[in-house]
Structures are given as structure tokens and as C-alpha cells.
Amino acid sequence: MKPIIATTASLIFALSTGIAHSEEWTPAWTASPEAVWSTEFDFPTGLPDSIAGQTIRQPLTLAWGGDRLRITLSNSYGTTPLPVDAAMVALGGEGAALKGQELPVLFGGKPEVTIPPGARITSDPVALPVEAGQRISVTLSYGEDAVAQDFHWDARETSFVIDGNRIDEEITARVSLAGVLTDHPAEMVVVAMGDSITDGNGAAMNEDVRWPDFLARRLAPEGVAVINAGISGGRLLSDGMGKSVLARIDRDVFAVPGVDAVVLLIGTNDIAWPGSPFAPDEAPMTLEGLQAGISAIAAKARLQGVHLIVGTVPPFRGALPDTPMEATYWSAGKDGLRREFNDWLRTTDLVDELVDFDAVLRDPDDHSQLKPTYDSGDRLHPGAAGNEAMAAAVSSKVLKGETP
């Protein structure tokens, strides 16, 4: 059978796949796509050597429920078409295990699809009732010409290269899978956007203890769907281990169906990377640069009618010990810039609301470092206790703009 090819000319298929405009779809899970980097980069990709002819099962936890769901696949950074021979979805058990029958995921009524370079595609609806907090597994079987050029590096979730009932390999990155939508409307849709602190680096694998996870669990009973658009190594102004926030906020926030608010925590890597092994020749960041970036985002948010909540940048003295970054990632000058930026965020009227993550996470005896009980161990990223405290600082009133 000849596979469907999604093209820019078939926007109805790519964007709605025949779903009536009156139907409302709510984002229940996301993983922001990144371009796969070369083997010369400091960190391994977490991908298998090849996805050609492979079947990969990707478990995830939904932030919102419904009677039907749709899957979004991405080849956003691909330079060649991505053939997917089959896609299946089922309720998820522990690890690679499933609960119940796998259901086929169709694209325009067909079981296979080829995603053009630079494109994303959303499936037809699948009748699979799910609840907020429920686990599902999406299994993708790739064609023989498939090449992984699009991924999400820091999944905080183990995925599995499988052959029948046998697990051939465990991987730590998302492959092609960019989102899940469900058919129950939410009273409010919130996107958490930022760098590795939002993406969950430092949080335990397979435990859903990133700060947006805690927030999603708390707010789902109030009718609020919270999704995570963090990218580890992300920056506000320049590309890092993914596109800058300025470059990707249209795709990852403003294009999200029904988005009402964004909680943005960004700036650590803009301040810390220059002069470090990540960006050894880059000029130091300036307060004016950070202010200009936030100002541009605030203007975009106003234009889109999206409530903008910005978080202050937590401290990171002593970050990344026993690594090549230890000597240059933090300095007194960088900490001074962080404090200046935070002071400006606390007073500017450009943003709708502020969440003072710095005050939540800092050591009361040394404001330049994380509180030890909130530290994951690398003096940069919060652990589960710190992430829970961050989520607790994001109130419903802040999200809805109901603070005095």
C-alpha cells in the first residue's frame, strides 16, 4: 500500500485530518522538538544508532483526559522525509508493558504516513478513554529509510526499542513524538516553558517529578491542563541545545490549541554559557539583552492574548561540580547579572505576573546557591522536593491574573 505523504498543499490533512472545526481538542502532553546534534557534542543523544526498520515504544503520562485522543508526530528538523509504517497506542503499564489492547493510529484513514522535511502531522482521533494522570504508550514502527533528525533529548522517561515482546534497547530521548491531544475541553490551558529546570534535568527518571508535573496534578481537578515545553540547554536569546525561546515560542506556546497562559522560566544559560565550554568565545550576556528578550516575548503574548507569567532565575553557585563546566559556568559577575535581572523582573510592568522561583529555591544563608534540601545534587537543578516547591508557588490566581 502506498503511504500517504503529508505536504504543505494538504494543510487540511496536516492540521485537522478531517476533524470538524466545531470540535475542541485540548493538549494533554507535549515534548518540544529539537534537531539531533552530531556525535561531537558534549552529550550523547540518547537515541539508538539507527531507527530504520525499528519499532520504538514511548510511554508517557497525560496531563488531561478525554474519550478520544490524537497523536502529533514531528519531522520539524528533518532534511529527508520520515516514513512511519505503523503507529499504535494503548494504556500503559510499568516500563514497556501495556494495559489492554493496542489500537491503531491512522493518518487520513491510513495506517502509514510519510512526514515531509520540516513538517508535523496530527493523527485521526483514536477512541481510547483516558484520564488526567493516566499512562499511555505510543509505539511507532519506522520505515527502512527512516533517519532520526528530530528528537527531544531530555525525556525523563525511558523508551524502548522492541521486537515483538522482546526489548532490544532502552533509550532516554523522545523520537518523533511531539504531542497528544484529547477531546475534552479544559477551563484553562497552561504551557510551562523554559530550560532544563522546566524540562526536568536532575529529576528522577520515570517518576513524573518535574515542576510542571506537580503543577499538572494539582490543577487538573480544577479544570486546568498543564503541558511542558521545556528544553534542556535552552536559552532566551540564542540557540542552545535547541532553538531559543524567541525562535520557538510561536510554535511551542502560541500555536498550542486553546492556550491561555504561559509560565516562562529562562535566563540561566544565557547568563552562564558565555565563557564556559558550552560557548567559550561568546561575549558575556548583558542586562539590556535579557530585558530586550523579555520585552519581545511580552509583546508577542499581548498580541496573542496569552497571559504571561515570568519566573525569576534561581541561583547556581557551584553548579556542575567535577565537570569541565565547573570553573566557568558560575562567577560572581554572572551571579550579579542574575540578581539584576531578577530585580528588574520583580518591578517591570511588561509581564502580567511574576513567580519568584529565586526566593523559593535559594539557600536562606547564601542567596547565590540552591537550598541544599532542594538541590538535585548538581547545584543547578532542583530535585523532586525543589520541583514540588516551585509548583506550589504557581497559584491558580497567578495563572488567571486574579492577584491584587
| pLDDT profile of the chain (404 residues), mean per 10 | 40 38 85 92 91 98 99 98 98 95 98 98 98 98 97 98 92 98 98 98 98 99 98 97 97 98 99 97 98 99 98 98 96 99 98 98 99 98 99 94 81
Q: Are strands 113-115 and 4-5 parallel, antiparallel or unpaired?
A: parallel
Give the span between the Cα atoms of 141 and 146, in whole angstroms. 10
Domain residue spans in the chain? 30-180, 186-400
Distance of CA 353 to the CA centre of its chain: 21
The pLDDT of residue 401 is 87
The pLDDT of residue 39 is 81
The phi and psi torsions of 196 (rounded to 5 degrees) equal: -65, -25
Give the span between the Cα atoms of 380 and 397, in whole angstroms. 28
| CATH annotation of 186-400 | 3.40.50.1110
The pLDDT of residue 171 is 97
The pLDDT of residue 251 is 97
For the beta carbon of residue 343, count every other beta carbon within 10 angstroms. 13
CA angle 193–46–194, rounded 5-degree value: 10
Dihedral sign of CA atoms 111, 86, 232, 96 in order: positive
The pLDDT of residue 404 is 72
- Output the pTM of the full model: 0.94
